[in-house]
Amino acid sequence: AGADSSLIAGYGSTQTSGSESSLTAGYGSTQTAREGSTLTAGYGSTG
């Protein structure tokens, strides 16, 4: 996703976003974000 984006994903998801983004993911997710971002992840996640 690009800048100023919002991602919501479920089980086993992979998320990659730019700056100013907000990520929320569930179990077993992987998150990669740049500066100015906010990541919220659940159990077993990497963010």
Question: Tens of pLDDT along 12-27?
Answer: 566 666 555 566 655 6
Q: Residue ranges per domain, the chain?
A: 6-40
Cα torsion through 46, 17, 7, 12, rounded to 10: -40
Residues whose CB is less than 8 angstroms from the CB of residue 12 and which lie 6 or more positions away in sequence, other chains included: 27, 28, 29
In this predicted structure, the answer to whether residue 31 has a pLDDT above a threshold of 60 is yes
What is the spatial distance between Cα 19 and Cα 12, in angstroms, rounded to a whole number? 23
In this predicted structure, the answer to whether residue 5 has a pLDDT above a threshold of 60 is no
Q: Output the pLDDT for position 8.
A: 59
What is the spatial distance between Cα 25 and Cα 39, in angstroms, rounded to a whole number? 8
Mapped onto helix, strand or coil, the DSSP state of residue 20 is coil
